[in-house]
Structure 1
Amino acid sequence: MVTLRFSGSLHVTSNSFFNELIYMHTNLLQLCKNKDSILIGMAMKMMLKFEKYWGCEGNQNFLLYVANVLDPRFKLKYVKFCFGDLYDYDKAQLLTNKVKDTLMSLYEFYLKIDEVVDNNRHKQDVNAIDDVEVDVNTLARFKRHLLEVDSVENKNEVERYLIEGCEDPNDDKLDILGWWKSNALKYKILSKVAQHVLAIPISTVASESAFSTGGRVLDQFRSSLSPATVQALICCQNWLHHGSIPTDIRSLINDLETYENLESEFGGKLHLVTDDN
């Protein structure tokens, strides 16, 4: 189910990452406490793999958390709530602040770009009114004053967005990009951040390819193998993988290819002899 959601291409997927991550983490924690020894063993191995990528702060991509914060149904409140359930207070607070700092860094970067664009427009406006009897210095100072005022107001965009109430968390039909478009005047800079962050796909791998072993068997050197040989290779690989006797898989694959070639050659001759008769 998680793979299907991450592989979507007709809707925003980056904002769903955090929800699915919490879902997987919570279920793995529950399975680690299961009474079934087999399930516990599997869950512990999966948890080790999970912690390898998401247990260490240095390995995490906080931009994916920011995508969830930019979802008006959840914002930073949901991230903080989930971290509080999974970790102790200090770690939850540390991760929450890290997510907010990442969002602020993005916002300040886009704010600087917007200021550069405004300055360029200002220079063009000054050049356009050279022939008008107006005090250019006064206009330039007034323009800088407006930029300073706008800058102070814009710096509060993130805080205003986070403080305001969330949309209905159960509203699955909410058009997130449409919401940001309709609120672009209210959040001039933050809407640009949301536009670019939410456009990032979580995965570019098709869901049907996520669990397929075909790519590991049918490489560019063996793309002409028959379906029967491919099936035999996959079965042999599974059997040999769980065997206790070391085996040279490469030599076995070469033997299978030789056998297939011989079968094709003699089978064709036999077919010709049968047609002649």
Structure 2
Amino acid sequence: MPVRWNSTYLMLQNCLEYDTTITYFYNMKLTETGQLSPKLLSTDDWYVAQIFVQFLKIFYNATVTLSGVYYPTFSQAIHQIVEMSELLNSYGEDEHLGAAIVVMETKLKKYWANIPLLYALSAIIDPRVKLSGLEVLLEFIGINLSIDYSEQITDIRTKLFEIFHIYETRFDNIDIPQSTRPETEPKQTSWSLLKRRKKDKSASTSSVQRSSSSSCTELIRYLEAQFDAVEDKEEFDLLLWWKTYTYRYPVLSHLARVLVIPVSTVSSEQAFSTSGRIIEPRRSCLSPEMVEVLTCLRDWEHAKKRLQNLTVDKELNLNFDNLYIDDPSGSGQGQN
């Protein structure tokens, strides 16, 4: 299906492990039936399939990452755009994908020539990125897609201080205790792009931040501070970090709550897509109310087990694993 590229990725990824067997079976069938008009499978075909799998992997990973429900996803959006822009740039001259890349770059520019403010704020609220890191990421995307983000960066900086001032006015009665924890140089992280260039960017933005607002001392302190970073970004709990540092940044911690907004509705859509498996020939007379009840119950059970973010139906996979071709009962006991 042209619109189910993620299924195509998973299918090809598994087929690559059995390329020899599939090639033999497919070519043998064409030879036996005399239908030689279709092209026989060759190593060149599998080479193209391998390139296609490598290409789709970035998009599949982005889909899985941004469809999560147990961690903030808005702060991950900019990073995924960086990965996709770099991928398209690197495959632009590929003989197999070059034509498709042109169309994909056009669509990527259409949607991301203007970065949503919420995406930018979520990236800034990440202490590993902040404003200086966001400038680095947008500059990198701009180079790959030939987009000038300089005006947007200036606008984002202005909006950041304006929004913080609103929060500061609302929570101005909060006492800010003095920090006793030392602020040290960040450790190396897997975000090599930020590690290489954020340090150079931070010096140039500090003076601009000071001149932007004389009252936003908490925001300036946060933007200029250096924190101990977690080397493995997947183990870094952003919400826990802000809960820990609420005493130091009480106003910003309220702004950080926008991070809990999911960037994607995929998980919610998956919950309701199960209705297609609920309504089957043996349950064809269920009322709409009963279908709604069963759908909600299934989603609530998954919520208790923290399984709402699964993109693969493990129950369906288990049934296939226990299925033998020569056993019509599907009990898993093959016949000799």
TM-score using structure 1 length: 0.55
Q: 1:206 aligned to 267, 270, 275, which one?
A: 267
1:94 aligns with 2:151: yes
Say whether the 8 Å CA contact 2:77–2:119 is kept in structure 1. yes
| Alpha-carbon separation, structure 1, partners of 2:81 and 2:123 | 11
Establish whether residue 48 from structure 1 lines up as the match of residue 109 from structure 2.
no
Distance 2:68 2:246 in 1: 26
CA 1:207–1:27: 2 relative to 1, 3 Å: farther
- Please state how far the C-alpha of 1:165 moved relative to its aligned partner: 1.4
Residue identity in the other structure for 2:236: L
Maintained 8 Å contact 2:79/2:137: no
CA distance in 2, matches of 1:102, 1:153: 15
Specify which of 245, 249, 260 is matched with residue 187 of structure 1.
Answer: 249
Offset at residue 204 of structure 1 (A): 1.7
- Contact 1:75 1:162 (C-alpha < 8 Å) held by counterparts: yes
SS in 2 for 1:189: helix
Q: Greater RCO between the two (CA within 8 Å, min separation 6)?
A: 1
The C-alpha deviation readout for 1:181-240, integer Å capped at 9, x for no partner, is 12112112111101x21111111213996xxxx99xx8xxxx889xxxxxxxxxxxxxxx
SS in structure 2 opposite 1:2?
helix
Q: Residue type of the partner of 1:111?
A: E
1:70 to 117, 122, 125: 125
Q: Which amino acid aligns with 1:161?
A: Y
Runs (4 or more) in structure 1 with deviation over 6 Å come to none
Kept in 2: contact 1:68–1:74 (CA 8 A): yes
2:109 maps to a residue whose letter is E
**Cα displacement (A) at 1:7:** 0.7
CA gap of 1:208–1:2, structure 2 versus 1, over 3 A, is: farther
Report if aligned partners of 1:28, 1:43 keep a CA contact under 8 Å in 2.
yes
1:168 maps to which residue? 229
1:101 to 1:171, Cα distance in 2 relative to 1, 3 A? farther
Aligned: 1:21 with 2:21: no
Conserved? CA contact 1:76–1:162, under 8 Å: yes
One-letter amino acid of the counterpart of residue 265, structure 2: T
Q: Note if contact 2:82-2:140 (Cα within 8 Å) is conserved in structure 1.
A: no
**Helix, strand or coil: the match of 2:121?**
helix
Using a 3 Å threshold, how does the CA distance of structure 1 residues 48 and 66 change in structure 2: closer, same or farther? same
Change (3 A) 1:167 1:46: farther
Could you list the runs of 5+ residues in structure 1 that have no partner in the other structure? Answer: 119-151, 226-277
Q: Deviations over 1:126-173 (max 9, x none)?
A: xxxxxxxxxxxxxxxxxxxxxxxxxx9861111111111144263321
Instruction: Tell me how many residue pairs correspond in the alignment.
Output: 176
Paired residue for 1:121? none
Q: Percent identity?
A: 25
Partner SS state of residue 236, structure 2? coil
Counterpart selection for 1:111 from 156, 162, 168:
168
Is the Cα–Cα contact under 8 Å of residues 67 and 197 in structure 1 kept in the other structure? yes
- Counterpart for residue 123 of structure 1: none
Give runs of aligned pairs for residues 121-200 of structure 1, distance below 5 A. 155-168=216-229, 170-172=231-233, 173-194=235-256, 196-200=257-261
Query: Following the alignment from structure 2 to structure 1, what is the Cα–Cα distance between the partners of residues 101 and 80?
Result: 17
Matches of 1:76 and 1:166 in 2, distance apart? 14
- Give the conservation status (yes or no) of the 8 Å contact 1:66–1:102: no
Decide whether the 8 Å contact of 2:71 with 2:260 is kept in 1: no
Query: In the superposition, relative to structure 1, how do residues 107 and 83 fare at CA in structure 2: closer, same or farther (>3 Å)?
Result: same
Long gaps (5+) in structure 2: 1-60, 175-212, 282-336
Of structures 1 and 2, the larger Rg is shown by 1
TM-score, with length taken from structure 2? 0.46
